[in-house]
Amino acid sequence: SDPALVERARAAKAALGDSVFVLGHHYQRDEVIQFADVTGDSFKLAQKAAARPEAPYIVFCGVHFMAESADILTAPHQKVILPDLGAGCSMADMATFDQVEECWDVLEDAGVADDVVPVTYMNSSADIKGFVGRHGGVVCTSSNAKRALDWAYSKGKKVLFLPDQHLGRNTAVLEMGFSLDDCVVYSPHRREGGLTHEQLRDARMILWRGHCSVHGRFTKESVDEVRARVPGVNVLVHPECRHEVVTAADQIGSTEYIIKAIEAADPGTSWAVGTELNLVRRLANAHPDKNVMFLDKTVCYCSTMNRIDLPHLVWSLESLVRGEVENVITVDEDTARNARAALDQMLALP
């Protein structure tokens, strides 16, 4: 990255001192992550958002839904800044508030809504988290989905899982002993979600038809191909991957899990990692004694995570030095109260 920009970021951060707290998700670019005070997966970043209550500014190097959650979880005087407002998430966009309200009406018409506990993946808008909180549900991330579902099934007979069908299905089937037939997929663009009332009554897990466009690219063929090419390779994938990919893999976990697994691996071992490319590259560079490779040959950055680049970070920090607070992410208090209930429930999971 441009040394002049690196120097400007360093100078601005030094000038701001303890008044700024920079959080960085593991999918961020190297040029950005080097300036993070804390790096983490979605869960760790939600936990750490409130770790510096004395800092008036939190610069969130990640995507919009994470910055919203940070705003909900931090003190009212703290401002959360997203260096590029275009850093959204295509998966989060797959469930809008109106669609989810409509889905709930369908569940009511089918006579099952009273049995349903809604669970939303962190990767959803604050509106959706608010909806889930209002209906007594919980947020989960890829590192605690099983615990969140165990909790939800202690409260009700069925779960509506938003918006990532893969995380919901993979957790239910691979970690909770559900069959594929226990799961149905609700399609927001089809009438009544494309499901009959009977299907909704029989299902234990109602999955929203959403997915991650990055992890959705990995296929069973990528796993077969790497196993044929690299003898003894360990295949390690994120649970946002499709069910047949996760089933064919050796290990499954969140980004934080993936990092720990590679750190703990023996020298000389081979690892094909199915997650975002910035992270896999960084892991490969950090562990030259291990053979760490990307699971698929097609390049797989998350384009929205990548929108936070060094020029945007420098702009955010230098604006703060000038006393200008740009790109503040705020969640209205009504939504925030309900969303906080669902987030707090997640943070309190055993």
Binding site for ligand 13P (CB under 6 A): 41-43, 123, 141-143, 212, 240, 254-255
CB contact at 8 A, 200 and 112: yes
Residue 141 Cβ vs ligand 13P, minimum distance, rounded to whole Å: 4
Helix, strand, or coil (residue 67): helix
- Whether 257 has a binding-site annotation, put simply, is no
Q: Which CB atom, from 70 or from 89, has the smaller least distance to ligand SF4?
A: 89
Report d(CA 214, CA 300) in Å as an integer.
6
Report d(CA 256, CA 253) in Å as an integer.
8
- Whether 25 has a binding-site annotation, put simply, is yes
Q: Which CB atom, from 12 or from 208, has the smaller least distance to ligand SF4?
A: 208
Is there binding between residue 302 and ligand SF4 (CB under 6 A)?
A: yes
Using a 10 angstrom Cβ sphere, with 0-12 exposed, 13-18 middle and 19 or more buried, the burial of residue 276 is buried
Is there binding between residue 159 and ligand SF4 (CB under 6 A)?
A: no
Element (H, E) at 58: strand 57-61
Q: Which CB atom, from 16 or from 237, has the smaller least distance to ligand 13P?
A: 237
Q: Which stretch binds ligand SF4 (CB under 6 A): 100-108, 177-185, 287-295, 298-306?
A: 298-306
Residue 15 Cβ vs ligand 13P, minimum distance, rounded to whole Å: 30
Using a 10 angstrom Cβ sphere, with 0-12 exposed, 13-18 middle and 19 or more buried, the burial of residue 266 is exposed
Residue 254 interacting entry, from ligand SF4, ligand 13P, none, C-beta within 5 to 8 Å by type: ligand 13P
What's at 146, amino acid-wise?
K
Residue 213 interacting entry, from ligand SF4, ligand 13P, none, C-beta within 5 to 8 Å by type: ligand SF4
Q: Which residues contact 349 (CB under 8 A, 6 or more apart)?
A: 138, 144, 147, 148, 151
- Whether 238 has a binding-site annotation, put simply, is yes
Residue 90 interacting entry, from ligand 13P, ligand SF4, none, C-beta within 5 to 8 Å by type: ligand SF4
C-alpha distances (whole Å) from 86 to each of 64, 90, 163, 234, 257 are 8, 11, 20, 35, 28
Residue 304 interacting entry, from ligand 13P, ligand SF4, none, C-beta within 5 to 8 Å by type: ligand SF4
Q: Are strands 183-186 and 158-162 parallel, antiparallel or unpaired?
A: unpaired
Q: Which residues contact 76 (CB under 8 A, 6 or more apart)?
A: none
Residue 120 interacting entry, from ligand SF4, ligand 13P, none, C-beta within 5 to 8 Å by type: none
Q: How far is CA 42 from the centre of its chain?
A: 5
Q: Which CB atom, from 90 or from 319, has the smaller least distance to ligand SF4?
A: 90
- Whether 318 has a binding-site annotation, put simply, is no
Is there binding between residue 306 and ligand SF4 (CB under 6 A)?
A: no
Is there binding between residue 68 and ligand SF4 (CB under 6 A)?
A: no
Q: Which stretch binds ligand SF4 (CB under 6 A): 86-94, 198-206, 289-297, 328-336?
A: 86-94
CB contact at 8 A, 118 and 159: yes
Is there binding between residue 308 and ligand SF4 (CB under 6 A)?
A: no
Half-sphere exposure of 221 (CA within 13 A, CB side): 4
Where in 257-296 is the site for ligand SF4 (CB under 6 A)?
276
CB contact at 8 A, 328 and 79: yes
Report d(CA 32, CA 316) in Å as an integer.
12
- Whether 142 has a binding-site annotation, put simply, is yes
Residue 255 interacting entry, from ligand SF4, ligand 13P, none, C-beta within 5 to 8 Å by type: ligand 13P
Residues of this chain that interact with ligand SF4 (CB under 6 A) are: 63, 89-91, 123, 212-214, 276, 302, 304-305
Residue list, annotated binding site: 25, 42, 89, 121-123, 142, 212, 238-240, 255, 302
